[in-house]
Amino acid sequence: MKHLRIVLTLLMTILIATMAVATFVEQRHGASYAATHVYHTSWFFALWALMALGGMAAIWRMRLWRRLGVMLLHAALLLILAGAAASWLTSSEGTLHLRKGQPADCYTIKDSQLSAPLPFQQMTLQGFSVVCYPGTEAPQDFQSQVTYITADRQHHEATISMNHILEVEGYRFYQTSFDPDRQGSVLTVNYDPWGTPISYGGYVLLALSMVWLLIDRRETFGRLLRSPLLRHGATLMLLIVCSMSVHARSVPTITAERANRLAEMPVVYNDRIAPLNTLARDFLLKLYGRTSYKGLTAEQVLYGWMQRPETWSDEPMLLVKDSKLRQQLGIDGKYARLADLFDNTGQYRLQQLIASAGETKAVRELDEKVGIILMLTEGELLRPASGVAINQHRLVAEICYNRIPFVSLLFITNLTLGILAFCLLLIPAFRFRHCLWQTVCLLGGLSWLVLVAGYALRWYISGRIPLGNGFETMLFLALALQTVGVMFHRRLSIIVPFSLLLSGFTLLIAHLSEMNPQITSLMPVLQSPLLTIHVSLVMMAYALLAFTMMSGIVALIVHHRGHTGHEELLTVLSQLMLYPAVFLLAGGIFLGAVWANVSWGKYWSWDPKEVWALITLLVYAVPLHRTTFLAPHRPVAYHLYMLIAFFSVLMTYFGVNYFLGGMHSYA
């Protein structure tokens, strides 16, 4: 068994390293290059096959058939790999370009100029339409109305749209694109008679086996829940301490009363109906970095620029973060005037900088601000909504959401409460400790309720679950982290500071990052309940993995101070989070595969986000297989591994979003 463990560890390391390197190869050379030289090669297929054979050998040597839940889980993974192999070997994919009124009887095979016959006599496009959100030009759906004649000469009609496919005799047709004149439509054709059903069977078996392992008291997770070490978690943190005004000048604008009335005016903004308050707030945030200017509201600033742009051009309100750019422009302080960006002859100084030194990020940001001002003064930014039904309650709710800084208030509150909770755990003999602890828990619960209310309000405003961009997923992650704390604070007191600090830092990232917290309409392909559940499961997994990382930090501090016998408690706590985290991540990944197959006919595309999510799953699966891999056994080694492993989570979320890119990038 020792030699098998070495071989399996080596194979797992090579597999993870290969996929990680392939994502960087794709970023440099493109997706087709990575597919041709890595993902779709025989040696990569052989690597997975060897891993599967090694896993089956380990199952046989360890007699895992005696543990039915474990056996079913690994059988599900083998079934999923078999489905992937069947898809690679037997599936066919291509595109069908239809022009209105012109019958087609064949499609073009992907990555070739060859054609293949359709499974019926012919298909004809009767019409193509783009359905937009009410009152906007933002597409809500793309629809192709087609007719097709089957072999028995029966005529059929169908509508193919995003997330609504047509399946005929095993061939699946997906809406992909359309011609600029809207007289033609492009459909993706996918034929996968074996791979998809085998993979789906594996997904179902995987879900059942994971639930089984979590509820079976005889399995590892059930034994961890009954561990006597969890009863003494409240005294753990004692070991660590034993070891460690602006004055505004008058500028022309409208009155505050009129601005307040105009705040509810419906406008078309970001391809949706929104109150003027949202447009004005984002306008001022983009320019000035704040939601008010010298005591003036965002609406007053917006109308000031519209009515007297020549006066407002002398106001220092364009935030310039880059010190080098400020020096080049000769600006004192962080803010530039619009007039500072034009020389005496009226030449645009940023254009001169681009010509001499090239376009930098700082120049692009400042140029974008100038462009927004010009759009406003030329009447292109402010477009009143008319001719559509307006939900006035939703507009009022959005104004309420804009005016209450949920995120900034909550990250300050949670970080403060988290630090206080840690201090109270450090000093258990403090006279008023119990009273203060109850107060912290109560305030933490109120903070959670406010976060739930803010998230629900955003949900109501957007008309969808808020998981459509980076800011919203960070918000959901903070909610998941704090929910864990609320659920387990009585059983594990150490969870309280963990959940408050982690949710506080997550909200801080959402507040300070460059993610734009605007409530925008979703792309048509993203309007799927499968996507919502997929993202929710993955983000809950990341929340639990963040707890394992935090446990690792605390355990290493405890060990460094010489209290070597107490890492075991944190090991139990970490593993208690690790099992559901890995299962949630696996479920989220494979549910995402189902969504992808429904949306564009391919359940796995080797996109960087998919690859790094798979890498994260494999990395965290290793410590769950201590007898199969050369995994860390001692508590210190385990916690060090968990701390390092969290970098795969950071790479999956932030690295892909802001460096590697891909279909899943939020950047």
Q: Are strands 92-99 and 266-269 parallel, antiparallel or unpaired?
A: unpaired
Assess if residue 486 is contained within a domain. yes
Higher per-residue pLDDT: 168 or 633: 168
Arithmetic mean of pLDDT over the chain = 82
502 and 368 within one domain = no
Average pLDDT over residues 154-176: 87
Please check whether residues 562 and 654 belong to one and the same domain.
Answer: yes
Does 147 share its domain with 290? no
Q: Which residue has the higher pLDDT, 43 or 134?
A: 43
Do 540 and 651 reside in the same domain of the chain?
yes
Q: Using only C-alpha atoms, what is the Rg of the chain?
A: 29
Is residue 421 over pLDDT 90? no
Domain boundary among 155, 173, 191: 191
* Residues 304 and 436 placed together within one structural domain of the fold: no
| For range 461-478, the mean pLDDT | 80
Mean pLDDT is lowest, of 10-19, 118-127, 463-472, for: 463-472
Please check whether residue 223 lies inside any domain of the structure: no
- Please tell me the predicted confidence (pLDDT) of residue 270: 74
Q: Kindly state whether residues 507 and 655 are assigned to the same domain.
A: yes
pLDDT of 515 over the 60 cut: no
Q: What is the pLDDT of residue 564?
A: 58
Q: What is the pLDDT of residue 595?
A: 84
**Which of 392, 427, 453 is where one domain is finished?**
392
Provide the pLDDT for residue 152.
81
Rounded Cα gap, residues 335 and 324, in angstroms: 13
Q: Is 469's pLDDT higher than 90?
A: no
Structure tokens at 472: 């919203």
For residues 511 and 607, state if they share a domain. yes
Q: Is residue 352 part of a domain?
A: yes
Question: CA–CA separation, 52 vs 85, rounded Å?
Answer: 12
Mean pLDDT for the stretch of residues 218-229: 75
As a whole number, mean pLDDT of residues 488-513 equals 79
Least confident of 228-237, 416-425, 561-570: 228-237
pLDDT at 135: 53
Tokens of 534: 């997929």
Res 248 pLDDT > 60:
no
At 614, the pLDDT band (50, 70, 90 cuts) reads: very high
Measure the CA–CA gap between 666 and 473, rounded to whole angstroms.
10
- CA proximity to 181, closest of 103, 104, 108, 99: 99
The pLDDT, as a whole number, for residue 488 is: 81
User: Is the confidence at residue 300, as pLDDT, over 80?
Assistant: yes
Structure tokens at 108: 């073009």
Last residue of a domain, one of 339, 361, 392: 392
Tell me, yes or no, whether 526 and 406 share the same domain: yes
29-80 pLDDT, tens digit each: 888 889 889 998 999 999 999 999 998 998 888 887 788 888 999 999 999 9
Res. 540 pLDDT band, cuts 50 70 90 = confident
Residues 405-413 have a mean pLDDT of 88
Strands (E), 133-223: 139-149, 155-161, 166-168, 171-178, 184-191
491 lies in the same domain as 625: yes
Range of the domain at 456: 238-242+393-660
Domain-embedded: residue 206: no
Domain membership of residue 76 (yes or no) is no
Tens digits of residue pLDDT in 251-262: 778 888 888 888
HEC profile of 312-360:
HCCCCCEECCCHHHHHHHCCCCCEECHHHHECCCCCEHHHHHHHHHCCC
Q: Are 370 and 353 in contact (CB under 8 A)?
A: no
For 415-484, the DSSP string reads HHHHHHHHHHHH-TT-TTHHHHHHHHHHHHHHHHHHHHHHHHHHHHHHTS-S-SSHHHHHHHHHHHHHHH
Lowest mean pLDDT among 198-202, 222-226, 291-295: 222-226
Per-residue pLDDT for 509 more than 70?
yes
Region 210-231 average pLDDT: 77
pLDDT at 517: 42
Q: What is the structure's pLDDT at 247? A: 43
Euclidean distance between CA atoms 235 and 426, whole angstroms: 8
The answer to the question of residue 65 being in a domain is no
**Average pLDDT estimate for 156-172:** 87
Q: What is the pLDDT of residues 582-591, one digit of tens each?
A: 998 999 999 8
Q: Is the pLDDT of residue 12 over 90?
A: yes
Instruction: Report whether pLDDT(613) > 90.
Output: yes
Q: How far apart are CA 71 and CA 59, in angstroms?
A: 8
Q: Give 311-362 pLDDT, tens digit per residue.
A: 898 889 898 887 788 888 888 888 999 888 887 777 778 776 765 555 566 7
**Taking a C-beta distance cutoff of 8 angstroms, is the pair 454, 510 a contact?**
no
User: Is the pLDDT assigned to residue 226 strictly greater than 60?
Assistant: yes
Tell me whether residue 480 is in a domain: yes
Number of domains in the chain: 4
Is 374 in the same domain as 443? no
Most confident of 100-104, 512-516, 547-551, 561-565: 100-104
How many CB atoms are located within 10 Å of the residue 357 CB? Answer: 11
> Per the domain annotation, does 210 fall within a domain?
no
Name the band, by pLDDT with cuts 50, 70 and 90, for residue 237: very low
Residues of the chain above pLDDT 90, percent: 24
Shared domain for 477 and 330, answered yes or no, is no
Same domain, yes or no, for 381 and 400?
Answer: no
Residue 160 pLDDT greater than 60, yes or no: yes
- In this prediction, residues 479-496 reach a mean pLDDT of 84
Least confidently predicted of 114-123, 151-160, 483-492: 483-492
